[in-house]
Structure 1
Amino acid sequence: MPEVTSYTPGFPTWVELASPDPERSKRYYCDLFGWTSYTLTTDIGEYEIFALGDAGGPETAGMQTLADDSLPSSWTCYFRTDDVPASADAVRAAGGLVLVEPTAVADLGQMALCSDPEGADFALWYPYHLQGAGVVDEPSAMCWVELACRDIHAARDFYGAVFGWKAVDRDYYASVYTNWKVGDWSVAGMVSMDEHWPPGYPPHWIPYFWVADCDDSAARAVELGGRIHIPPSDIEPGRFCIVTDPTGARLALIAPALPDGAAHTRP
């Protein structure tokens, strides 16, 4: 699909890895997805940009060094807003926390790091020169983001208040899956952390990355040092798996089921 040049408020725009071992993470993701990377030096430190194809290709994701070794390696999902301070106020009013106050990231944009009432981290983004991912919904690019939490009713209230999302439930096998929508567009999903999850496992957001063959990509993820948590499985949207990378960050791989052979386009 064409490169993305803008995002509608409420849409996921960017995903960012916090890694305790950036060089190892760089090798892993470049090998797994065929990405390249380059380093930006900003007023808040060095920031790694992953790109599709060569270094001049569209941006796919970011990476920074994990500042606190006591924290787990993880992916953070960024959501577009027209007013970061106002959205941060909405987070607080809805019972969440603002972990990093609205901050300019060089000439890229303005961000704030937040957590919802259950402790799942996410970020707000208003673009200056970086709209977000330059490509989505095609192989080796982000195509979905998903929240896993225990209180789905509280999450519906929270994210509805912050982003204006409408929650639409769908029955997937024995469980209910929530699609969050902006207008007619599905922008994110939510699963309930039931008894099948390890006790004490924290609520979290994860990105989904499009792959051509889920089984092949899952095998490659393991060869490169990752671990499989949910093996390749068929669901209505396609064939997916959940993995953790060599530093412990959780992500999903999916080969979408596309009857017409093409991804949807975004507004």
Structure 2
Amino acid sequence: MAENMASAHEEAYPEGVPCWVDAQLADVEAGKRFYGDLFGWTFEESYGGTVRAHSEGEPVAALAQKADGRLPTVWTVYFATPDAEALSRRILAAGGQVVTAPMPVGELGVAALATDPEGAVFGLWQPGSHHGFGRRHEPGTFVWAQLYARDTAAANTFYGGLFHDALFGPSAEPDFGRAPLTDVFPAQMPPHFVVHFRVDDCEAALAEVVRLGGRVQAGPFEASYGTVVLVTDDQGASFALLQR
């Protein structure tokens, strides 16, 4: 694990591994204050006005200005792929949809947005100069993506077909789980991904979220992968804190 984290910024992630996250926000400066205080992130300007967050000098996330105020305020997880066009075709063939076709993000790489057959949104990232997380699985960095689905068997079939080696292969180190929507959310909530950030002390981090103007959605509760609390930031973007 430590070797993977040390070299994460040097080598591309295998296809199907969560490799990046970003938040679409109405106020990026407010986002910098919130997440900078919560996780100790520092920030630098990146492509197209997006800011890249760093932990101990390595990239861990991005905050982007919403192009349209009607768009959701949301965290999105991106799965690595060597060929976003080919993966998009496989998504369509498996019953998903391509929301935003693959498009270059300067020299950084190629990004796309897609949905699974139940409508849960996720991103694709084909690396250029930016391979993804420079740090992960550490406090204040990405550690897990949980899909809350209406039909977990169908979700396993869809994502297992797309990303079999990453999820089930001999060297799999999955950062991606599936759970019934009704385990945590009301049945009317649409299927969606929740990005999890690791913390050393869930209760202390939760208190900090509230102090910064965020709120609790659910938890803390025990999951198979640790102690989880679902929260929103001060602009309404949902994410989770995970203590392992």
Same fold (TM over 0.5): yes
For the pair 1:98 / 2:88, whether they are aligned, the reply is no
For the pair 1:190 / 2:193, whether they are aligned, the reply is no
Counterpart pick for 2:168 among 177, 181, 199: 181
Query: In 2, distance between residues paired with 1:236 and 1:85?
Result: 34
Higher-helix-fraction structure? 2
2:49 aligns to what SS in structure 1? strand
Query: In 1, distance between residues paired with 2:208 and 2:202?
Result: 10
Aligned to 1:119: 119
Structure 1 residue 3: Cα displacement? 4.5
Instruction: Point out where structure 1 has 5 or more consecutive residues left out of the alignment.
Output: 167-179, 257-267
* Identity score, percent: 37
Q: Deviations over 1:141-160 (max 9, x none)?
A: 11111101112122122112
How many matched pairs?
A: 237
Aligned to 2:17: 11
Query: TM-score, normalised on structure 2?
Result: 0.91
Structure 1 residue 238: Cα displacement? 2.6
2:148 aligns to what SS in structure 1? strand
Aligned to 2:213: 225
Q: How does 1:94-173 map to 2 (within 5 A)?
A: 94-164=94-164
Query: Match for 1:140: what amino acid?
Result: G
Query: In 2, distance between residues paired with 1:75 and 1:221?
Result: 16
2:207 aligns to what SS in structure 1? helix
Structure 1 residue 255: Cα displacement? 1.4
Aligned to 2:68: 68
User: Contact 2:181–2:187 at 8 Å: present in 1 too?
Assistant: no
User: Contact 1:145–1:206 at 8 Å: present in 2 too?
Assistant: yes
Query: In 1, distance between residues paired with 2:225 and 2:180?
Result: 18
Q: Deviations over 1:135-180 (max 9, x none)?
A: 01111111111101112122122112222268xxxxxxxxxxxxx4
Structure 1 residue 74: Cα displacement? 0.6
User: Contact 2:156–2:178 at 8 Å: present in 1 too?
Assistant: no
User: Contact 2:143–2:175 at 8 Å: present in 1 too?
Assistant: no
Q: Deviations over 1:236-262 (max 9, x none)?
A: 433221111111111111111xxxxxx
Aligned to 2:204: 216
- Give the aligned CA root-mean-square deviation in angstroms: 1.7
Residues 1:234 and 1:116: Cα distance change in structure 2 (over 3 Å)? closer
Residues 1:158 and 1:235: Cα distance change in structure 2 (over 3 Å)? closer
Query: Match for 1:181: what amino acid?
Result: F
Query: Match for 1:49: what amino acid?
Result: R
Query: TM-score, normalised on structure 1?
Result: 0.84
Instruction: Point out where structure 2 has 5 or more consecutive residues left out of the alignment.
Output: none
Aligned to 1:48: 51
Aligned to 1:175: none
1:185 aligns to what SS in structure 2? coil
Query: In 2, distance between residues paired with 1:21 and 1:89?
Result: 34
1:190 aligns to what SS in structure 2? strand
User: Contact 1:113–1:123 at 8 Å: present in 2 too?
Assistant: yes
User: Contact 1:181–1:188 at 8 Å: present in 2 too?
Assistant: no
User: Contact 2:101–2:112 at 8 Å: present in 1 too?
Assistant: yes
Higher-strand-fraction structure? 1
For the pair 1:36 / 2:42, whether they are aligned, the reply is yes
Residues 1:252 and 1:182: Cα distance change in structure 2 (over 3 Å)? farther
1:14 aligns to what SS in structure 2? strand
User: Contact 1:3–1:58 at 8 Å: present in 2 too?
Assistant: no
Query: Match for 1:124: what amino acid?
Result: L
Structure 1 residue 79: Cα displacement? 0.5
Query: Match for 1:31: what amino acid?
Result: D
1:107 aligns to what SS in structure 2? coil
User: Contact 2:107–2:128 at 8 Å: present in 1 too?
Assistant: yes
Aligned to 1:255: 243
Query: In 2, distance between residues paired with 1:104 and 1:123?
Result: 13
Query: In 2, distance between residues paired with 1:196 and 1:101?
Result: 32
